[in-house]
Structure 1
């Protein structure tokens, strides 16, 4: 149990130029990547990062995460931005703070495994454009999926941060799969691969405070690289878990500036700055400088994105994560799938089936893309299975998983499920045991021939190689061969003000000019009475045409 051994009280000093703490906590800021990805559908634009970039550079962050994850896809697809240009632009403002990105192992910044030639060129060009820290993860914690990218990261002189995706077998740390020994062994593998730091990547906010303490203590005792904790706020536990991790001696934690914090994002930075004052782990940050940045964001930036915030719930905590140990976004997807099939009444059956499917598919961590794989198959089982047959409708992604295209699962996939999934599978019915990318043919030269002169450099080529359909469309727009749709253009503060004015008018009933109220006219002799039925009730209504003319003219008998 915690004994606060790594936390010591020192003389309190509130000044911004106070003496440096003996063991200051390092902070990576995620606002400009995971913050807006979690809260605002990854729609953050480069132009809206520039107003705070120089000020953020003065804070003293260990790193700022500005790229990777879903940003590469969203920038070219929905924002009409060149992903590479964001790196180059922000680098002009961040002169001291290293850049960090989220790299999905062999998936890079896409949703499938790419060939080795694509992976290697991607890493090289990313470093060329200003990236310094590669936070590298694999959804299955199969580090063979790092083997193509890590040597290039190291050769380029960049920082390789190896991630272990945090998952649970039980409601808390322990059980026969995801126990303390599992994480220690994974950390040792990353150390052997040359990791400069090791990150516990808690995608759903599952790590409990005392588990965080024990895990960080164990990792610090067993491996030499710096230990980094990344835990989403979704369940509400992350601030508590971070604090216990700090007590255990964690080197680095992830936070967001307050406007980008909480809900499915991360804990806010500012409470940690104040909480650690007067301790040997004081961050050294100037809280007033952070307040200035927050004011700019609240006033000049986030009004443009407020409409993207999911405000369907009042609560900022999703307790479903605590109940089912699944990421909040995954649960939302399950609900949406059931709604589309008019089967929302099956949600309890889905919750019951979910852990069973996950176990049969190898007790895999639930993170992109495995959370979608398990979730969709669970819905299929609930809707289409019969008492005599399970897995009647198996998705293509489950077949790929059973074949080994995503990597090796933590425990063996159920043999019967695997056999059924691979029956008639196009690549063969015997699962592979090699590194998944070894069965992939080189892709770069094929992509180069397909895109032709439209790709003017390797950066353009990579956009196309990763996203052939949307990537090509973006390049056509980039070079003026197609018009950029209005939907891709940014919202301005003037647009926000107009929308707000319209909403206020609508609330007051002022959108349509009210007709002037006149005195009721006299009834004519042509008025007719109708029965009007409303929800089982009926009303007698007199109808008289304006001007007194007959409402209905009947034909005279002949």
Structure 2
């Protein structure tokens, strides 16, 4: 039995998986940050470039301000940034110059740990990203090896990938990232030892999702196999398509003899805070998903599947879901078995939906699928279907995309965007629509702190102030009377 560390995913992946990445704002995070710092997490999974864009687009909040405020309140716990390939916010491929610039700003504003993920598990690309993040000042560089199922992805494949990454000395840790929640306890029993055997003394972490109810069992077996850290969330943001619950995982680990060295009072306070917040804000709290073997075939992450179901319902075509899921399997095989993680899960699911709803398969091909086939995201793990590859590459749109300009240099971007902006605002303007950044700036600083008990009052004030013809307001209750008029 061993001591197991926890990495918290509440404000990033838990928020994303179960609350659409929009459930939490800066004040909510800042309020609980000091308590989270007391828990004793190995790190806090804090943000990605996509989450930074969500803060601007949906909350009109400055993601750099959010990061600084949280960093000030958590001096003892490293905050982690997850890379998703050679891109920052925009899906357009970025230059190394822009990526290093972005990483340096992240370090300057409080990021200490970088989790390096490549959607194709491309080892040279991950090693290059490790160099960029280290050069920018990252303290911990962690390789995120993204799990999938296919005819070639056996334990030996994962051990080979882990060895290629860790023997370079460029990574401080490695974690197995299972976005589909596909690793069972039985698979963890063989996979974890195979990977650990080639890693030397480098710690191994495990990150999974409870989408089909396997992760909680896989976590316990992973702990028995010597995994250093497990990724969990506060109970209200856990389960569903998110990670296992922090408090339940702690109890389960201790019950089978492992040590989890955390501040139990802080754990309880954090859990209570997010539960009250979720209830006040109407955010869903769910249990682990039902065991559904279809996931082993289509492997669509829960968030993407939810979006697909909503799109079918909105167009009154939900009866097509079984056909779309079957088509996902075909499309993924034809495209060389891409790992079902951002952006590939979205690309495969969208193409499958279009194939089912169009007159013929591949009649409509989104630009991002065409870019994938053209090799913009790297080389697939297995060969693509030659007929599909040729059909897409020979299209008129593919020829147009082959000649599209790459992202401009920093100097070119500064000349286009203009001077007078901080580096942080400039980077947002270089990768996002200007009107969204303008709205963020106009909104001013984010609110400080959060009290869920004020939610009904704030909702009432917002509703009243939206009524333009309202001439006055009278509120009465025993011992209290408030009357406002023009």
**Where on the TM-score scale, by shorter chain, does this alignment land: which range?**
0.7 to 0.9
The answer (yes or no) to whether the contact 1:29–1:254 under 8 Å persists in 2 is: yes
In the alignment, which of 283, 286, 306 is matched to residue 263 of structure 2?
A: 286
SS at match of 1:274: helix
Return the offset for 1:441: 4.8
In the alignment, which of 159, 171, 178 is matched to residue 184 of structure 1?
A: 159
Instruction: Give distance in 2, aligned partners of 1:180 and 1:137.
Output: 19
Residue matched to 1:18: none
Residue matched to 1:334: 308
The answer (yes or no) to whether the contact 1:119–1:148 under 8 Å persists in 2 is: no
In the alignment, which of 209, 226, 233 is matched to residue 232 of structure 1?
A: 209
Return the offset for 1:271: 2.0
Q: Bigger shift: 349-358 or 419-428?
A: 419-428
The answer (yes or no) to whether the contact 1:116–1:148 under 8 Å persists in 2 is: no
The answer (yes or no) to whether the contact 1:101–1:135 under 8 Å persists in 2 is: yes
**Change in 2 beyond 3 A, CA 1:303/1:126:** same
Structure 1 unaligned segments of length 5 or more: list them: 1-6, 8-22, 170-175, 501-558
The answer (yes or no) to whether the contact 1:402–1:431 under 8 Å persists in 2 is: no
SS at match of 1:108: coil
Instruction: Give distance in 2, aligned partners of 1:31 and 1:144.
Output: 31
* Residues 65-464 of structure 1 mapped to structure 2, 5 A cutoff: 65-68=45-48, 70-146=50-126, 148-155=128-135, 156-169=137-150, 176-193=151-168, 194-224=170-200, 225-277=202-254, 281-299=258-276, 301-306=277-282, 308-309=283-284, 316-317=289-290, 319=292, 321=295, 324-386=298-360, 390-425=361-396, 428=399, 440-453=406-419, 455=421, 457-464=422-429
The answer (yes or no) to whether the contact 1:454–1:476 under 8 Å persists in 2 is: no
**Change in 2 beyond 3 A, CA 1:413/1:425:** farther
Return the offset for 1:37: 1.5
Return the offset for 1:399: 1.0
Instruction: Give distance in 2, aligned partners of 1:382 and 1:157.
Output: 45
SS at match of 1:66: strand
Instruction: Give distance in 2, aligned partners of 1:92 and 1:491.
Output: 20
Return the offset for 1:123: 0.9
Instruction: Give distance in 2, aligned partners of 1:199 and 1:425.
Output: 41
Q: RMSD of the alignment, in Å?
A: 3.0
The answer (yes or no) to whether the contact 1:76–1:83 under 8 Å persists in 2 is: yes
Runs of at least 4 residues of structure 1 off by over 6 A?
A: 429-432
Return the offset for 1:340: 4.4
The answer (yes or no) to whether the contact 1:209–1:244 under 8 Å persists in 2 is: yes
**Change in 2 beyond 3 A, CA 1:459/1:279:** same
Instruction: Give distance in 1, aligned partners of 2:452 and 2:138.
Output: 40
In the alignment, which of 37, 56, 59 is matched to residue 16 of structure 2?
A: 37
Q: C-alpha deviations, 1:105-142, integer Å up to 9, x for none?
A: 21234434222221110111111111111112122222
The structure with the largest alpha-carbon Rg is 1
* Equivalent residue pairs, number: 454
Q: RCO higher in 1 or 2 (8 Å CA, sep ≥ 6)?
A: 2
Instruction: Give distance in 2, aligned partners of 1:147 and 1:441.
Output: 22
Return the offset for 1:250: 0.6
**Change in 2 beyond 3 A, CA 1:245/1:464:** same
The answer (yes or no) to whether the contact 1:451–1:464 under 8 Å persists in 2 is: yes
**Change in 2 beyond 3 A, CA 1:40/1:352:** closer
Instruction: Give distance in 2, aligned partners of 1:399 and 1:429.
Output: 10
SS at match of 1:64: strand
Return the offset for 1:304: 4.1
Instruction: Give distance in 1, aligned partners of 2:128 and 2:352.
Output: 33
Return the offset for 1:157: 4.4
TM-score, with length taken from structure 2: 0.85
Instruction: Give distance in 1, aligned partners of 2:10 and 2:391.
Output: 44
Q: Bigger shift: 133-142 or 276-285?
A: 276-285
TM-score, with length taken from structure 1: 0.75
Return the offset for 1:385: 4.4
Instruction: Give distance in 2, aligned partners of 1:477 and 1:240.
Output: 45
Q: C-alpha deviations, 1:309-366, integer Å up to 9, x for none?
A: 388xx98447353564322222223323334444333222222222111000011111
In the alignment, which of 456, 460, 474 is matched to residue 496 of structure 1?
A: 456
